[in-house]
Structure 1
Amino acid sequence: MVKESKVIIYGTGKFAEYVGYMIDKDSIYEVCAYCIEKGYHNGKEHINGKAVVGFEALEECFPPEKYQLFIAIGNNYVRKRLFESSKKKGYTLIRYVSSVALIWEELVCGENIFISDNSAIQPFVTIGDNTIIIGSKIGHHSKIGNHVLLSACFLSGSVTVGESSFLGINATVKQNTVIGNNNIIGMGSVITHNTKDWEVYTGSHATRKRMVSADRIESNYLL
Protein backbone atom coordinates (compact mmCIF):
# COMPACT_ATOMS: atom_id res chain seq x y z
CA MET A 1 0.00 0.00 0.00
CA VAL A 2 1.34 3.44 -0.95
CA LYS A 3 2.02 5.61 2.08
CA GLU A 4 0.59 9.10 1.74
CA SER A 5 1.02 10.55 5.24
CA LYS A 6 3.23 10.18 8.29
CA VAL A 7 1.87 9.49 11.76
CA ILE A 8 3.15 9.28 15.34
CA ILE A 9 1.51 6.83 17.75
CA TYR A 10 0.97 7.91 21.36
CA GLY A 11 1.49 4.99 23.75
CA THR A 12 4.06 2.35 24.63
CA GLY A 13 1.86 -0.47 25.95
CA LYS A 14 0.65 -3.60 24.19
CA PHE A 15 -2.43 -1.83 22.86
CA ALA A 16 -0.27 0.87 21.26
CA GLU A 17 2.00 -1.82 19.81
CA TYR A 18 -1.06 -3.51 18.26
CA VAL A 19 -2.58 -0.28 16.96
CA GLY A 20 0.71 0.93 15.48
CA TYR A 21 1.25 -2.39 13.74
CA MET A 22 -2.22 -2.34 12.18
CA ILE A 23 -1.93 1.26 11.02
CA ASP A 24 1.52 0.68 9.54
CA LYS A 25 0.56 -2.54 7.72
CA ASP A 26 -2.99 -1.70 6.68
CA SER A 27 -3.37 1.99 5.86
CA ILE A 28 -2.02 4.91 3.89
CA TYR A 29 -0.12 6.06 6.99
CA GLU A 30 3.56 5.44 7.69
CA VAL A 31 4.21 5.07 11.42
CA CYS A 32 7.39 7.05 12.09
CA ALA A 33 7.69 6.93 15.89
CA TYR A 34 5.92 6.32 19.18
CA CYS A 35 5.63 8.90 21.93
CA ILE A 36 4.79 9.00 25.63
CA GLU A 37 4.68 11.49 28.48
CA LYS A 38 7.80 11.41 30.63
CA GLY A 39 5.99 10.20 33.74
CA TYR A 40 4.55 7.18 31.92
CA HIS A 41 7.64 6.01 30.05
CA ASN A 42 8.10 2.28 30.71
CA GLY A 43 11.70 2.19 29.55
CA LYS A 44 11.08 0.95 26.02
CA GLU A 45 13.29 2.65 23.46
CA HIS A 46 11.69 1.08 20.37
CA ILE A 47 8.31 -0.40 19.44
CA ASN A 48 7.80 -2.24 16.17
CA GLY A 49 11.25 -1.02 15.18
CA LYS A 50 10.35 2.65 15.69
CA ALA A 51 11.90 5.00 18.25
CA VAL A 52 10.03 6.11 21.38
CA VAL A 53 10.19 9.87 21.97
CA GLY A 54 8.79 12.30 24.52
CA PHE A 55 5.32 13.77 24.06
CA GLU A 56 6.03 17.06 25.84
CA ALA A 57 8.26 18.42 23.04
CA LEU A 58 6.91 16.25 20.24
CA GLU A 59 6.19 19.17 17.92
CA GLU A 60 9.88 20.15 17.92
CA CYS A 61 10.96 16.84 16.35
CA PHE A 62 7.77 15.98 14.50
CA PRO A 63 5.98 19.25 13.63
CA PRO A 64 2.20 19.05 13.16
CA GLU A 65 2.56 20.58 9.71
CA LYS A 66 4.27 17.36 8.53
CA TYR A 67 3.08 14.66 10.92
CA GLN A 68 -0.27 13.49 12.23
CA LEU A 69 -1.00 11.67 15.46
CA PHE A 70 -2.98 8.75 16.84
CA ILE A 71 -3.60 8.24 20.56
CA ALA A 72 -3.54 4.51 21.32
CA ILE A 73 -4.69 4.51 24.94
CA GLY A 74 -7.58 2.38 26.21
CA ASN A 75 -8.55 4.48 29.24
CA ASN A 76 -11.25 6.86 28.00
CA TYR A 77 -10.38 9.66 30.41
CA VAL A 78 -6.65 9.59 29.72
CA ARG A 79 -7.34 9.38 25.99
CA LYS A 80 -9.66 12.40 26.24
CA ARG A 81 -7.01 14.46 28.05
CA LEU A 82 -4.37 13.55 25.48
CA PHE A 83 -6.75 14.24 22.60
CA GLU A 84 -7.31 17.76 23.90
CA SER A 85 -3.58 18.29 24.53
CA SER A 86 -2.74 17.10 21.02
CA LYS A 87 -5.25 19.46 19.46
CA LYS A 88 -3.71 22.34 21.41
CA LYS A 89 -0.33 21.38 19.96
CA GLY A 90 -1.86 21.70 16.50
CA TYR A 91 -1.99 18.03 15.50
CA THR A 92 -4.56 16.42 13.26
CA LEU A 93 -5.55 13.01 14.61
CA ILE A 94 -6.07 10.27 12.07
CA ARG A 95 -8.87 7.78 11.47
CA TYR A 96 -8.04 4.12 10.94
CA VAL A 97 -10.59 1.66 9.56
CA SER A 98 -9.40 -1.90 8.98
CA SER A 99 -9.50 -2.99 5.37
CA VAL A 100 -11.46 -6.06 6.48
CA ALA A 101 -14.01 -4.22 8.64
CA LEU A 102 -17.50 -4.07 7.17
CA ILE A 103 -18.60 -0.45 6.82
CA TRP A 104 -20.71 1.63 4.43
CA GLU A 105 -20.05 4.96 2.77
CA GLU A 106 -22.70 6.67 4.92
CA LEU A 107 -20.52 6.26 8.03
CA VAL A 108 -19.72 9.62 9.64
CA CYS A 109 -16.88 9.75 12.16
CA GLY A 110 -14.55 12.23 13.85
CA GLU A 111 -10.82 12.28 14.59
CA ASN A 112 -8.71 9.67 16.38
CA ILE A 113 -10.98 6.80 15.35
CA PHE A 114 -9.86 3.16 15.39
CA ILE A 115 -12.14 0.52 13.85
CA SER A 116 -10.58 -2.93 13.98
CA ASP A 117 -10.92 -6.03 11.87
CA ASN A 118 -14.04 -8.11 12.60
CA SER A 119 -16.08 -4.94 13.17
CA ALA A 120 -19.34 -4.49 11.28
CA ILE A 121 -21.09 -1.14 11.11
CA GLN A 122 -24.42 -0.79 9.31
CA PRO A 123 -25.45 2.31 7.31
CA PHE A 124 -26.30 5.70 8.82
CA VAL A 125 -24.08 5.37 11.89
CA THR A 126 -22.37 8.39 13.45
CA ILE A 127 -19.21 8.09 15.55
CA GLY A 128 -17.78 11.01 17.54
CA ASP A 129 -14.16 11.95 18.13
CA ASN A 130 -11.56 9.81 19.88
CA THR A 131 -13.47 6.53 19.87
CA ILE A 132 -12.11 2.98 19.65
CA ILE A 133 -14.15 0.11 18.22
CA ILE A 134 -12.71 -3.39 18.48
CA GLY A 135 -14.54 -6.29 16.89
CA SER A 136 -17.99 -4.82 17.54
CA LYS A 137 -21.28 -4.89 15.64
CA ILE A 138 -23.19 -1.60 15.40
CA GLY A 139 -26.73 -1.42 14.05
CA HIS A 140 -28.08 1.14 11.61
CA HIS A 141 -28.80 4.74 12.70
CA SER A 142 -26.81 4.35 15.92
CA LYS A 143 -24.88 7.26 17.43
CA ILE A 144 -21.62 6.71 19.29
CA GLY A 145 -20.32 9.61 21.37
CA ASN A 146 -16.86 11.06 21.88
CA HIS A 147 -14.16 9.22 23.85
CA VAL A 148 -15.96 5.85 23.79
CA LEU A 149 -14.49 2.33 23.76
CA LEU A 150 -16.49 -0.60 22.39
CA SER A 151 -14.88 -4.02 22.84
CA ALA A 152 -16.48 -6.93 20.97
CA CYS A 153 -20.03 -5.87 21.82
CA PHE A 154 -23.33 -5.82 19.91
CA LEU A 155 -25.53 -2.75 19.45
CA SER A 156 -28.91 -3.10 17.76
CA GLY A 157 -30.35 -0.39 15.52
CA SER A 158 -30.79 3.22 16.67
CA VAL A 159 -28.73 2.86 19.84
CA THR A 160 -27.10 5.94 21.36
CA VAL A 161 -23.91 5.59 23.42
CA GLY A 162 -23.01 8.59 25.56
CA GLU A 163 -19.63 10.25 25.91
CA SER A 164 -16.77 8.43 27.67
CA SER A 165 -18.67 5.16 28.04
CA PHE A 166 -17.20 1.66 27.84
CA LEU A 167 -18.95 -1.51 26.64
CA GLY A 168 -17.20 -4.81 27.28
CA ILE A 169 -16.99 -8.16 25.52
CA ASN A 170 -20.37 -9.61 24.49
CA ALA A 171 -22.35 -6.73 25.99
CA THR A 172 -25.63 -6.41 24.06
CA VAL A 173 -27.86 -3.35 23.78
CA LYS A 174 -31.49 -3.46 22.62
CA GLN A 175 -32.66 -1.28 19.73
CA ASN A 176 -33.66 2.35 20.44
CA THR A 177 -31.79 2.34 23.77
CA VAL A 178 -29.79 5.27 25.13
CA ILE A 179 -26.62 4.52 27.11
CA GLY A 180 -25.77 7.47 29.35
CA ASN A 181 -22.47 9.32 29.57
CA ASN A 182 -19.62 7.75 31.55
CA ASN A 183 -21.22 4.31 31.74
CA ILE A 184 -19.44 1.01 32.25
CA ILE A 185 -21.37 -1.85 30.64
CA GLY A 186 -19.57 -4.98 31.76
CA MET A 187 -18.77 -8.15 29.88
CA GLY A 188 -21.87 -10.11 28.91
CA SER A 189 -24.37 -7.51 30.13
CA VAL A 190 -27.71 -7.26 28.33
CA ILE A 191 -29.16 -3.73 28.34
CA THR A 192 -32.87 -3.45 27.48
CA HIS A 193 -33.65 0.03 28.82
CA ASN A 194 -32.07 3.50 28.91
CA THR A 195 -29.29 4.06 31.44
CA LYS A 196 -28.40 7.16 33.43
CA ASP A 197 -25.03 8.93 33.50
CA TRP A 198 -22.27 7.46 35.70
CA GLU A 199 -23.76 3.97 35.99
CA VAL A 200 -22.02 0.59 36.05
CA TYR A 201 -23.80 -2.57 34.87
CA THR A 202 -22.56 -6.11 35.40
CA GLY A 203 -23.94 -9.60 35.01
CA SER A 204 -25.54 -11.47 32.13
CA HIS A 205 -28.85 -9.66 32.61
CA ALA A 206 -27.36 -6.46 34.00
CA THR A 207 -29.14 -7.13 37.30
CA ARG A 208 -26.50 -5.35 39.38
CA LYS A 209 -26.11 -1.64 38.90
CA ARG A 210 -24.62 1.22 40.84
CA MET A 211 -23.73 4.85 40.36
CA VAL A 212 -20.10 5.81 40.82
CA SER A 213 -18.00 8.95 40.68
CA ALA A 214 -15.76 9.95 37.81
CA ASP A 215 -12.68 9.33 39.96
CA ARG A 216 -13.76 5.76 40.76
CA ILE A 217 -14.57 4.98 37.15
CA GLU A 218 -11.20 6.28 36.00
CA SER A 219 -9.13 4.57 38.69
CA ASN A 220 -11.03 1.30 39.25
CA TYR A 221 -12.72 0.44 35.97
CA LEU A 222 -10.60 1.86 33.17
CA LEU A 223 -7.04 0.94 34.05
Structure 2
Amino acid sequence: MEKKKKLVIIGDSAFAEVAYECFTHDSEYEVTGFAVEEAFMTKDSLFGLPVVPFERLTEHFLPEDTEFYAALVYTKLNRVRTRLYEAAKAKGYRPASYVSSRAFVWHNVEIGEHCFIFEDNTLQPFVRVGNNVVMWSGNHIGHHSVIGDNNFIASHVVISGFCTIGRNCFLGVNATLANNLTIGEDNWIGLGVTITRDTPPDTLFKGVQPPPSPVPASRYFKVSAE
Protein backbone atom coordinates (compact mmCIF):
# COMPACT_ATOMS: atom_id res chain seq x y z
CA MET A 1 0.00 0.00 0.00
CA GLU A 2 1.34 3.41 -0.96
CA LYS A 3 2.44 5.51 2.01
CA LYS A 4 0.85 8.93 1.71
CA LYS A 5 0.92 10.15 5.33
CA LYS A 6 3.38 10.30 8.22
CA LEU A 7 2.45 9.06 11.67
CA VAL A 8 3.91 9.23 15.16
CA ILE A 9 2.66 6.70 17.69
CA ILE A 10 2.25 7.87 21.27
CA GLY A 11 3.34 5.05 23.56
CA ASP A 12 5.86 2.21 23.44
CA SER A 13 3.85 -0.60 25.05
CA ALA A 14 2.63 -3.84 23.47
CA PHE A 15 -0.32 -1.93 21.98
CA ALA A 16 2.11 0.55 20.42
CA GLU A 17 4.01 -2.35 18.86
CA VAL A 18 0.79 -3.84 17.48
CA ALA A 19 -0.29 -0.42 16.20
CA TYR A 20 3.07 -0.08 14.42
CA GLU A 21 2.48 -3.42 12.66
CA CYS A 22 -1.06 -2.53 11.62
CA PHE A 23 -0.28 0.96 10.37
CA THR A 24 2.89 -0.23 8.61
CA HIS A 25 1.42 -3.22 6.79
CA ASP A 26 -2.25 -2.30 6.38
CA SER A 27 -2.60 1.46 5.97
CA GLU A 28 -1.45 4.47 4.01
CA TYR A 29 0.58 5.71 6.99
CA GLU A 30 4.36 5.60 7.37
CA VAL A 31 5.29 5.41 11.05
CA THR A 32 8.19 7.81 11.63
CA GLY A 33 8.62 7.52 15.41
CA PHE A 34 7.18 7.12 18.88
CA ALA A 35 6.61 9.48 21.80
CA VAL A 36 6.36 8.78 25.53
CA GLU A 37 5.92 11.13 28.46
CA GLU A 38 9.40 11.87 29.77
CA ALA A 39 8.78 10.42 33.23
CA PHE A 40 7.97 7.03 31.69
CA MET A 41 10.69 6.76 29.03
CA THR A 42 12.71 3.54 29.20
CA LYS A 43 14.21 3.46 25.69
CA ASP A 44 15.25 5.83 22.94
CA SER A 45 14.35 3.68 19.93
CA LEU A 46 11.81 1.09 18.84
CA PHE A 47 11.84 -0.82 15.53
CA GLY A 48 14.78 1.38 14.55
CA LEU A 49 12.73 4.54 14.98
CA PRO A 50 13.24 7.27 17.58
CA VAL A 51 11.31 7.36 20.85
CA VAL A 52 11.12 11.00 21.93
CA PRO A 53 9.69 12.81 24.96
CA PHE A 54 6.05 13.67 24.41
CA GLU A 55 6.63 17.06 26.02
CA ARG A 56 9.08 17.93 23.18
CA LEU A 57 7.14 16.29 20.38
CA THR A 58 7.05 19.39 18.18
CA GLU A 59 10.86 19.56 18.20
CA HIS A 60 11.02 16.21 16.39
CA PHE A 61 7.85 15.92 14.28
CA LEU A 62 6.15 18.84 12.55
CA PRO A 63 2.41 19.07 13.30
CA GLU A 64 1.63 20.27 9.79
CA ASP A 65 2.85 17.07 8.12
CA THR A 66 2.50 14.41 10.84
CA GLU A 67 -0.57 12.75 12.32
CA PHE A 68 -0.64 10.78 15.57
CA TYR A 69 -2.22 7.80 17.23
CA ALA A 70 -2.17 7.39 21.04
CA ALA A 71 -1.75 3.62 21.43
CA LEU A 72 -2.84 3.16 25.02
CA VAL A 73 -5.43 0.75 26.35
CA TYR A 74 -8.17 1.20 28.98
CA THR A 75 -6.15 2.40 31.99
CA LYS A 76 -8.35 4.42 34.38
CA LEU A 77 -11.37 3.68 32.16
CA ASN A 78 -9.60 5.10 29.11
CA ARG A 79 -8.66 8.37 30.82
CA VAL A 80 -4.93 8.08 30.06
CA ARG A 81 -5.49 7.47 26.35
CA THR A 82 -8.06 10.28 26.26
CA ARG A 83 -5.70 12.73 28.00
CA LEU A 84 -2.86 12.10 25.56
CA TYR A 85 -5.21 12.16 22.56
CA GLU A 86 -6.45 15.58 23.64
CA ALA A 87 -2.94 16.82 24.49
CA ALA A 88 -1.58 15.85 21.07
CA LYS A 89 -4.48 17.63 19.37
CA ALA A 90 -3.74 20.70 21.48
CA LYS A 91 -0.18 20.65 20.08
CA GLY A 92 -1.65 20.92 16.58
CA TYR A 93 -1.41 17.29 15.45
CA ARG A 94 -4.26 15.59 13.59
CA PRO A 95 -5.51 12.27 15.00
CA ALA A 96 -5.24 9.18 12.81
CA SER A 97 -7.51 6.13 12.79
CA TYR A 98 -6.92 2.54 11.76
CA VAL A 99 -9.67 0.30 10.40
CA SER A 100 -8.41 -3.14 9.44
CA SER A 101 -8.90 -4.16 5.83
CA ARG A 102 -10.16 -7.44 7.31
CA ALA A 103 -12.98 -5.82 9.28
CA PHE A 104 -16.53 -5.81 7.91
CA VAL A 105 -17.87 -2.26 8.06
CA TRP A 106 -21.22 -1.58 6.36
CA HIS A 107 -21.17 1.38 3.98
CA ASN A 108 -23.31 3.69 6.14
CA VAL A 109 -21.45 3.13 9.41
CA GLU A 110 -20.15 6.38 10.92
CA ILE A 111 -16.76 6.28 12.65
CA GLY A 112 -15.29 9.19 14.58
CA GLU A 113 -11.66 10.26 14.83
CA HIS A 114 -8.81 8.50 16.60
CA CYS A 115 -10.34 5.01 16.45
CA PHE A 116 -8.60 1.64 16.17
CA ILE A 117 -10.68 -1.22 14.77
CA PHE A 118 -8.98 -4.59 14.49
CA GLU A 119 -9.60 -7.50 12.14
CA ASP A 120 -12.81 -9.55 12.16
CA ASN A 121 -14.98 -6.84 13.67
CA THR A 122 -18.48 -6.72 12.19
CA LEU A 123 -20.16 -3.32 12.19
CA GLN A 124 -23.70 -3.68 10.89
CA PRO A 125 -25.85 -1.04 9.12
CA PHE A 126 -26.49 2.30 10.83
CA VAL A 127 -23.89 1.78 13.55
CA ARG A 128 -22.28 4.96 14.88
CA VAL A 129 -18.89 4.99 16.60
CA GLY A 130 -17.65 8.02 18.51
CA ASN A 131 -14.13 9.38 18.93
CA ASN A 132 -11.19 7.62 20.60
CA VAL A 133 -12.66 4.12 20.51
CA VAL A 134 -10.69 0.85 20.42
CA MET A 135 -12.30 -2.36 19.17
CA TRP A 136 -10.01 -5.34 19.55
CA SER A 137 -10.47 -8.43 17.36
CA GLY A 138 -13.68 -10.23 16.50
CA ASN A 139 -16.52 -8.13 17.93
CA HIS A 140 -20.11 -7.93 16.67
CA ILE A 141 -21.71 -4.48 16.75
CA GLY A 142 -25.40 -4.84 15.93
CA HIS A 143 -27.41 -2.58 13.65
CA HIS A 144 -28.41 0.90 14.86
CA SER A 145 -26.12 0.70 17.90
CA VAL A 146 -24.15 3.71 19.11
CA ILE A 147 -20.70 3.44 20.70
CA GLY A 148 -19.87 6.60 22.64
CA ASP A 149 -16.51 8.36 22.94
CA ASN A 150 -13.48 6.97 24.76
CA ASN A 151 -14.53 3.33 24.91
CA PHE A 152 -12.52 0.11 24.79
CA ILE A 153 -14.20 -3.05 23.50
CA ALA A 154 -12.13 -6.19 23.98
CA SER A 155 -12.33 -9.28 21.76
CA HIS A 156 -15.46 -11.28 20.86
CA VAL A 157 -17.94 -8.92 22.47
CA VAL A 158 -21.51 -9.12 21.19
CA ILE A 159 -23.44 -5.85 21.19
CA SER A 160 -26.93 -6.51 19.85
CA GLY A 161 -29.05 -4.09 17.87
CA PHE A 162 -30.25 -0.68 19.10
CA CYS A 163 -27.79 -0.49 21.98
CA THR A 164 -26.15 2.70 23.24
CA ILE A 165 -22.82 2.55 25.05
CA GLY A 166 -22.00 5.60 27.18
CA ARG A 167 -18.61 7.28 27.34
CA ASN A 168 -15.53 5.89 29.07
CA CYS A 169 -16.56 2.23 29.27
CA PHE A 170 -14.67 -1.06 29.11
CA LEU A 171 -16.31 -4.21 27.75
CA GLY A 172 -14.32 -7.38 28.46
CA VAL A 173 -13.73 -10.47 26.36
CA ASN A 174 -16.91 -12.38 25.49
CA ALA A 175 -19.25 -9.86 27.13
CA THR A 176 -22.78 -9.95 25.68
CA LEU A 177 -25.41 -7.21 25.50
CA ALA A 178 -29.03 -7.93 24.64
CA ASN A 179 -31.05 -5.72 22.27
CA ASN A 180 -32.26 -2.20 23.04
CA LEU A 181 -29.98 -1.48 25.99
CA THR A 182 -28.35 1.69 27.28
CA ILE A 183 -25.05 1.25 29.10
CA GLY A 184 -24.25 4.14 31.45
CA GLU A 185 -20.99 6.09 31.34
CA ASP A 186 -17.97 4.72 33.20
CA ASN A 187 -19.15 1.11 33.21
CA TRP A 188 -16.68 -1.77 33.56
CA ILE A 189 -18.26 -4.91 32.11
CA GLY A 190 -16.03 -7.86 32.88
CA LEU A 191 -15.17 -10.84 30.74
CA GLY A 192 -18.06 -13.15 29.95
CA VAL A 193 -20.69 -10.90 31.57
CA THR A 194 -24.17 -10.89 30.03
CA ILE A 195 -26.17 -7.65 30.32
CA THR A 196 -29.96 -7.87 29.82
CA ARG A 197 -31.17 -4.49 31.11
CA ASP A 198 -30.05 -0.85 31.16
CA THR A 199 -27.17 -0.01 33.50
CA PRO A 200 -26.56 3.11 35.61
CA PRO A 201 -23.37 5.18 35.32
CA ASP A 202 -20.21 4.30 37.24
CA THR A 203 -20.95 0.59 37.65
CA LEU A 204 -18.72 -2.48 37.81
CA PHE A 205 -19.94 -5.84 36.52
CA LYS A 206 -17.50 -8.63 37.31
CA GLY A 207 -17.11 -11.91 35.50
CA VAL A 208 -17.86 -14.97 37.62
CA GLN A 209 -15.05 -17.48 38.06
CA PRO A 210 -16.37 -20.92 39.13
CA PRO A 211 -14.93 -22.46 42.29
CA PRO A 212 -12.51 -25.38 41.98
CA SER A 213 -14.14 -28.73 41.38
CA PRO A 214 -14.38 -30.81 44.59
CA VAL A 215 -13.63 -33.92 42.54
CA PRO A 216 -9.90 -34.64 42.04
CA ALA A 217 -8.76 -34.37 38.45
CA SER A 218 -7.07 -37.75 38.85
CA ARG A 219 -10.54 -39.33 38.86
CA TYR A 220 -10.91 -38.36 35.21
CA PHE A 221 -7.33 -38.43 33.98
CA LYS A 222 -4.74 -41.14 34.41
CA VAL A 223 -2.00 -39.72 36.60
CA SER A 224 1.43 -41.27 36.33
CA ALA A 225 4.45 -40.69 38.50
CA GLU A 226 6.74 -41.22 35.54
- Contact map agreement 1:69 1:91 (CA 8 A) in 2: yes
Partner of 1:142: 145
Distance apart, 1:60 and its partner CA: 2.1
Rounded to whole Å, the distance in 2 between the matches of 1:49 and 1:191 is 45
Partner of 1:2: 2
Partner of 2:46: 47
Partner of residue 189 from structure 2, selected from 185, 192, 195: 185
Partner of residue 89 from structure 1, selected from 71, 91, 96: 91
Report the residue type matching 2:171 in the other structure: L
Rounded to whole Å, the distance in 2 between the matches of 1:48 and 1:141 is 40
Rounded to whole Å, the distance in 1 between the matches of 2:173 and 2:23 is 23
Partner of 1:199: 203
Partner of 1:56: 55
Q: Spell out, residue by residue over 1:37-62, the C-alpha distance to the aligned partner (whole angstroms, 9 max, x if none).
A: 00111x22222232111111111221
Rounded to whole Å, the distance in 1 between the matches of 2:120 and 2:130 is 20
Distance apart, 1:7 and its partner CA: 0.4
Aligned residues: 204
SS of corresponding position for 1:56: helix
- Contact map agreement 1:190 1:204 (CA 8 A) in 2: no
Partner of 2:100: 98
Q: Spell out, residue by residue over 1:136-190, the C-alpha distance to the aligned partner (whole angstroms, 9 max, x if none).
A: 1100111001110000111001111110000000000011101110100000000
Gap change, CA 1:48 and 1:137, over 3 Å in 2: farther
Partner of 2:72: 73
Rounded to whole Å, the distance in 2 between the matches of 1:98 and 1:175 is 26
Rounded to whole Å, the distance in 2 between the matches of 1:141 and 1:113 is 19
Partner of 1:23: 23
1:174 maps to 2:173: no
Which sections of structure 2, spanning at least 5 residues, go unmatched?
Answer: 210-226
Q: Which runs of 4 or more aligned residues in structure 1 lie more than 3 Å from their structure 2 counterparts after TM superposition? A: none
Q: Spell out, residue by residue over 1:72-111, the C-alpha distance to the aligned partner (whole angstroms, 9 max, x if none).
A: 0002010111111111111110111001011112111111
Q: What TM-score do you get using the length of structure 1 for normalisation?
A: 0.89
Report the residue type matching 1:177 in the other structure: L
- Contact map agreement 1:3 1:29 (CA 8 A) in 2: yes
Rounded to whole Å, the distance in 1 between the matches of 2:40 and 2:148 is 27
Distance apart, 1:203 and its partner CA: 2.8
Partner of 1:212: none
Report the residue type matching 1:183 in the other structure: N
1:164 maps to 2:168: yes
Indicate the RMSD between aligned Cα atoms, in angstroms.
Answer: 1.2
Rounded to whole Å, the distance in 1 between the matches of 2:46 and 2:60 is 18
Partner of 1:119: 121
Distance apart, 1:204 and its partner CA: 5.3
Question: Percent identity at matched positions?
Answer: 39
Report the residue type matching 1:62 in the other structure: F
Partner of 1:214: none
